[in-house]
């Protein structure tokens, strides 16, 4: 192992230890009861806070918590319920279309592969990763803006795009830790290593990371 690899390994150990200290048992911030309600919640979370999504989904799921019930609603009705989440026109359309596709192509069940999930309207790689990880316990490493920022800031990835960041993080951290680490990084990025007004000296990781 060369000196650079040794430094990176030491840095990774420090990051894991710090994240375990601040968030030993992180929980997924979205409320859901099954793969379908998780899928809808994640779709709604695009450019929206988890708090707002959690305020909206109980109302939506009281009306329809399965694909079969959802397709009985009009797009206008869905849009009126989810309006405060933003992008409501696109999101309501996708919720209706993906529910129809689940019924026609998957017997009303949310599929458990990347390939099949990404066939659903409005479902990209990150959304599919979250659903696979939290609903089906299939190892995945969704990279959001927080994780992308931290990986670049801490020198774990080139930070050019989320695809590269995901590959780099998967190489650095063991598969068994991906689910926990994904949540730890999100919480840490929101609370300690923010995008705006970030002061490295006040961040438990940034103030030491460059000494490695």
Give the model confidence (pLDDT) of 13-31 as tens digits. 999 999 999 999 999 999 9
- Which of the following is catalytic: 65, 91, 126, 168? 126
pLDDT tens by residue, 79-115: 999 999 999 999 999 999 999 999 999 999 999 999 9
Q: Residue 78's CB: how many other CB atoms inside 10 A?
A: 23
Whether 104 and 56 map to the same domain: the answer is yes
Whether 132 and 146 map to the same domain: the answer is no
pLDDT for residue 1 is more than 70? no
Whether 15 and 39 map to the same domain: the answer is no
CA distance 30 to 57: 9
Question: What total of structural domains would you count in the chain?
Answer: 2
* Residue finishing a domain among 85, 113, 136: 136
State both tokens at 178.
């991906």
Whether 192 and 146 map to the same domain: the answer is yes
* Residue finishing a domain among 136, 170, 193: 136
- Which of the following is catalytic: 93, 144, 180, 194? 144
DSSP H helical ranges for the chain:
3-22, 35-44, 50-63, 67-70, 75-82, 88-106, 114-117, 125-136, 145-153, 162-172, 178-191, 206-209
Whether 76 and 151 map to the same domain: the answer is no
- CATH number for 23: 1.10.1670.10
Whether 52 and 76 map to the same domain: the answer is yes
Whether 10 and 42 map to the same domain: the answer is no
Residue range(s) defining the domain that contains residue 173: 3-27+141-209
Whether 46 and 110 map to the same domain: the answer is yes
Whether 42 and 130 map to the same domain: the answer is yes
Per the annotation, the verdict on 144 as an active-site residue is: yes
Whether 115 and 149 map to the same domain: the answer is no
CA distance 45 to 31: 11
**Confidence band, pLDDT 50/70/90 cuts, at residue 7:** confident
> What is residue 209's three-state secondary structure?
helix
- CATH number for 72: 1.10.340.30
Per the annotation, the verdict on 93 as an active-site residue is: no
Q: Which residues contact 97 (CB under 8 A, 6 or more apart)?
A: 121, 122
Q: What is the mean pLDDT of the chain?
A: 94
Determine the pLDDT at residue 99.
98
Whether 46 and 128 map to the same domain: the answer is yes
């Amino acid at each position: 192992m060369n000196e650079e690899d040794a430094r990176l390994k030491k840095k990774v150990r420090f990051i894991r230890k710090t994240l375990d200290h601040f968030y030993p048992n992180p929980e997924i911030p979205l409320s859901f009861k099954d793969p379908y309600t998780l899928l809808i919640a994640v779709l709604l979370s695009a450019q929206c806070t988890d708090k707002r999504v959690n305020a909206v989904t109980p109302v939506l799921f009281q009306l329809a918590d399965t694909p079969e019930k959802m397709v009985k609603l009009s797009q206008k009705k869905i849009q009126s319920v989810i309006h405060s989440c933003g992008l409501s026109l696109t999101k309501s359309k996708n919720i209706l279309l993906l529910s129809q596709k689940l019924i026609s192509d998957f017997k009303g069940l949310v599929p458990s592969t990347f390939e099949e999930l990404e066939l659903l309207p409005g479902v990209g790689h990150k959304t599919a990763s979250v659903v696979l990880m939290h609903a089906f316990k299939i190892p995945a490493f969704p990279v959001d803006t927080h994780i992308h920022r931290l990986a670049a800031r801490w020198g774990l990835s080139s930070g050019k795009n989320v695809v590269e960041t995901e590959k780099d993080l998967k190489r650095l951290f063991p598969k068994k830790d991906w689910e926990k680490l994904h949540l730890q990084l999100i919480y840490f990025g929101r609370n300690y290593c923010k995008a705006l007004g970030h002061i490295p000296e006040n961040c438990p990781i940034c103030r030491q990371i460059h000494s490695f």
